[in-house]
């Protein structure tokens, strides 16, 4: 009987950290990107054989965090500097990206592709459709660690991401509703402030403002204001989608 282990021929679409692990075992894949934390990201890097390289590049000094009062006094200070085994050391994204790519071949990463959707065929294989009109098919497994706007999650859940907000303020959070009042509420501290206004439907709109120079907008460079979306607490993937 042949006792030689047989290599899997499963075709996988995946992100960089897991891609590096699978590369070491000979499993083909396509890729994206991933952050790093102890017990998850660092564990994955250890399996990919990159943990020592990560420790050379990690920035324990960047774990420092200050929470200050408006006058600058320190309310809380945290740092992992001096800790023998830091829990969440940081790494510059460019360094992380280069480190993960160092374990891959040029043909292992598909550049310039933005995923629009993933479809499961009658043969239980997955097809990836991209913004440029192209597609890639024949995948047995798709790992979609692609955040709130995941193009993979719809295979497992019909729930879309929701705008982060507080609904039913009067009934669910009466103390907060009382704090805002029935009209406008403004909190000002020096040159910064926050204003909340309650609308007739019971919703509350919140504005923040700062005092700046007349040409602040022109001199501040390009910036983008983004809305914050999330999934509700306790949300789980309710649909099975086995390949």
Whether 104 and 170 map to the same domain: the answer is no
What is the DSSP code string of 157-182? --PPPEE----SHHHH-HHHHHHH-S
- pLDDT band for position 1 (cuts 50, 70, 90): very low
DSSP state of 95: H
Query: Which of 111, 129, 148 delimits the end of a domain?
Result: 111
- In this prediction, residue 134 carries a pLDDT of 93
Q: pTM here? A: 0.53
* For the ranges 36-50, 140-154, 164-178, the one whose mean pLDDT is highest: 36-50
Q: Is the pLDDT of residue 114 over 50?
A: yes
CA 184/CA 195 separation, integer angstroms = 7
Domain ranges, residue 34:
12-111
Enclosing H/E stretch for 204: strand 204-210
pLDDT at 33: 31
For 48-97, what is each residue's pLDDT tens digit?
A: 899 999 989 888 877 777 877 767 688 888 888 888 887 888 887 778 88
102 and 18 in a common domain: yes
18 within a domain of the structure (yes/no):
yes
Same domain, 104 and 173: no
If pLDDT is split at 50, 70 and 90, which confidence band does 191 have? Answer: confident
Q: Strand, coil or helix: what is 116?
A: strand
Task: Using the 3D structure, point to which of 111, 136, 155 is the last residue of a domain.
Answer: 111
How does the average pLDDT of the chain come out, rounded? 78
**Quick one: pLDDT band at residue 98, thresholds 50, 70, 90?**
confident
Is 169 a member of any domain?
Answer: yes
Q: Is residue 155 part of a domain?
A: no
Query: 21 and 90 share a domain?
Result: yes
Which is higher by pLDDT, 96 or 13? 96
Six-digit token string for 174: 């009466």
Question: What pLDDT shows up at residue 216?
Answer: 84
Same structural domain, 173 and 98: no
Residues 20 and 90 in one domain: yes
8 Å CB contact between 43 and 91: no
Residue 151 inside a domain? The answer is no
Average pLDDT over residues 19-46: 65
Whether 116 is in a domain gets the answer no
> Any idea which of 18-22, 46-50, 156-160 has the lowest mean pLDDT?
18-22
Q: Is the pLDDT of residue 203 over 80?
A: no
Taking CA atoms, 224 is separated from 219, 221, 227, in Å, by 15, 10, 10
Total domain count, the chain: 2
Same-domain status, 16 and 107: yes
């Amino acid at each position: 009987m042949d006792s030689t282990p047989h290599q899997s021929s499963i075709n996988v679409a995946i992100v960089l950290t897991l891609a590096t692990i699978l590369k070491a075992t000979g499993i083909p894949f396509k890729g994206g990107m991933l952050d790093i934390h102890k017990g998850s990201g660092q564990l994955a890097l250890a399996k990919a054989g990159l943990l020592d390289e990560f420790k050379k590049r990690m920035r324990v000094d960047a774990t420092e965090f200050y929470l200050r009062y408006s006058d600058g006094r320190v309310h809380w200070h945290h740092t992992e500097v001096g800790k023998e085994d830091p829990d969440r050391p940081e790494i510059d994204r460019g360094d992380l990206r280069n480190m993960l790519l160092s374990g891959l071949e040029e043909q292992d990463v598909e550049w310039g592709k933005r995923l629009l959707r993933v479809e499961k065929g009658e043969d239980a294989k997955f097809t990836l459709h991209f913004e440029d009109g192209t597609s890639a098919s024949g995948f047995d497994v798709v790992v979609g660690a692609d955040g709130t706007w995941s193009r993979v999650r719809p295979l497992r859940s019909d729930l879309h991401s929701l705008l982060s907000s507080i609904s039913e303020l009067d009934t669910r959070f009466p103390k907060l509703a009382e704090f805002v009042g029935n009209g406008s509420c403004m909190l000002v501290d020096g040159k910064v402030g926050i204003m909340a206004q309650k609308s007739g439907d019971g919703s509350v709109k919140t504005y923040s403002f700062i005092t700046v120079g007349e040409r602040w907008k022109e001199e501040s460079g390009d910036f983008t204001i983004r809305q914050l979306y999330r999934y509700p607490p306790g949300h789980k993937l309710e649909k099975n989608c086995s390949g």
